[in-house]
Structure 1
Amino acid sequence: MDTEHDWISTPLTAELLRGALDVEHTEHGLLPHRLPARARAQNTDEQLAMAESQPSGVRLAFRTRATALELDTLPTKRVYVGAPPRPHGRYDLTVDGRLAGQGTVTDGNVVTVDMTAGTAEHRPGHPGTVRFTGLPDHDKDVEIWLPHNETTELIALRTNAPVQPARDLGRRVWLHHGSSISHGSDAASPTAVWPALAASLGGVELINLGLAGSALLDPFTARALRDTPADVISVKIGINLVNLDLMRLRAFGPAVHGFLDTVREGHPTTPLLVVSPILCPMHEDTPGPCAPDLGGLGEGRLRFVPMGDPAESATGKLTLKVIRDELSRIVGQRAADDPNLHYLDGRDLYGETDSAELPLPDGLHPDAATHRRIGERFARLVFTDDGPFAAAPRASAAAGSRLAP
């Protein structure tokens, strides 16, 4: 094949996307969203707006014989004044489910955040191109996983052989919601984010609603989960509520019940797993909020520190230990009438022994090795043997193969 001159352009449409709940047509192209328009309209938080537009778990999926392809995108990158430079977002290309290439787009918009001043400056940039060559010369299933930590507008797709719609491989759809840890934090690449790794090991199609800093029991997020077709669902709750010191124990329990009630309106019998926080030593007994250690920025390092007082937990402030106890109690109470509701202690994914071996580099977020460990453990505990998702039947044939409604 002539990979230099015989390019075929394929229109970028929602039908080529997996893992997105909505798309926006911009002046440049197609912008995937992980929350639907109705939810975005009810949100006023810039952090959540940024997080849901970053396409963690979103990928272009198609079948082709092409040996080369190009994707033009316009990414939006973040730079933190005084902090170490962030690596460019990675694009992972898989062929028949196996990683076959990685690339970056170095151009794009740049948002410079000054945490000391509390300001953010947006500088517009230019689109760039990620190119993959040397792919096997036969019909194959191709996925391009978009950077999990860069808002990415899709502009053009070119291949040197025709593109066909992705096949339905008969996999179950796993819908997951969580914090920045589920979003990807410091994972090495989009297929190495722990839910993506767990989905690969579990043989399921992932819709990842991990929203950095924004797993806050928002009703519009619960409605998004309610309205998205899925065969198994998990919600990881706790760390962001402590980070922001958002609510007290009195409000937490009813908010969890309300969130689960809303999800159950759309999925009354779907296996539903509630996951409590992984170990985070600084917030086990100390309430939030937490804040960046601005003194460390001058030394080129970013760490977070707790601002609460352990004594405040007696007045209802939330710690991770309090949250785990309450989640366990709530799930136990509800499971009496809901046999498809399950609970997983997050410390089974990352606990004290893991913390000693692989401490959280900034005090909050796992590194690449820890993402792999969490993903492997989740797959083993949840998708295999007697795990809560092991025997769940497939109910939503179309949700994993194209944009969820």
Structure 2
Amino acid sequence: MRKLKTTIAVVTSVIAMTGCSSQVGGSAAPAEIDVRQLDTGKYPTRPLSEYSEFNPSFTFGRRLAAMRLADSLVLGQEVDPKLTFGSFESIDSGTPGVMSKAVVPALEPNNMLYGFATGNSDIKEFAVMSLAPGDESLADYLRNRKPTYFGLSVMQFPDATTAERAATEIERLDFDVAADLNIRVPLGKYPGAHSHWRPGVASMVSTLSHGSYVVNVQAGVAEAEADKLTDLIQRVFDAQLPRLDKLKPLSPVEVVKLTSDPERILERTLNPQKLSSPDARLFASYGLQGFLQTRRDLLQIQGLYKKVGADQFGRSWDSYIIRTRDTDAAQTLLDGMFVGDAYKPAEAPEKLTSVKCTENKDPMDEVKRFSCAVQYRRYVAYVQSQQLPDAHQRAAAQYAVLANSQ
């Protein structure tokens, strides 16, 4: 059986700061910090549009459409509260790495436009989307940990007829990988779903067309029990399909016309690379749902995000930004960040007031050793670095970008 693979204007002049090479904007508004006095080091302090212009293309449009779709994908915990660990992949080409090579021939010929995939598991070490097709020994080893999981891929096709044809072909190609071992399985609640499993193996795959969308689910439970597998897949469909009903499919022309930063969230984010090419992992904007797909480590504070009305999130390389309801809500969010045993208070940079720094006790790929968050009006942004002085300069530059983006 196939395995999923994978594996987030008050300025009027530009004045050079004494003692550093960065360019910092002009006078501050009343009661605001004069950003010309901040130590921003080598980092840019102006809005991104002053450095880089976004050029629409079908390639970029597919990436943006995939990010848009991420905001309509169900999180694992909405299906089962235990499924809090996960990963994601953007599907923005006709040969996505997240899909089994066996089913790729069903995608491009049917003009798949874009998609998004997430993995959801109750075991941190069980990376649903990291299993390459054919890695049977690795898959068997990981299944011995008896995880509960599902991998969810949603793809949009030009119309319902094409989507149904693609779903049928995906099932046929996937089933034929081990046609002598696989058996077809009906889903009582979803008679149009194409499903199969291999008896004795604790996983099942199901593919369903829903309007212009194709929804593909691979699910696993602790023991090889068909009833539990079909129940899990049906619960995924129950949670996912209503979300797709609310998301208007895009035509190829609409895909090309997508803008990279409609809410001007990335415009306000520190971007040391000065690059504006959309990327689901490195340069992207999401709503709360999509952001949590890309940052499962922040699931525990989603209640705080909802409390402060956080509705837009941006990632620009190692910088993040959050738009809240208003200034008071932004201050509440800042106060609630970096709280818990995983954080140790760190010295804050000079001259910044609404700022909070931490030393992360468990650094990893997504989280560097030091983080600093700054609040400006209704926005909270945070930066990361392996060195505290560098984190301070990034925080100062981020505040300047926020001030200079009004």
Q: TM-score range by the shorter chain?
A: under 0.3
- Decide which structure has greater strand share: 1
TM-score by length of 2: 0.26
TM-score by length of 1: 0.26
Please say which structure displays the higher CA radius of gyration. Answer: 2
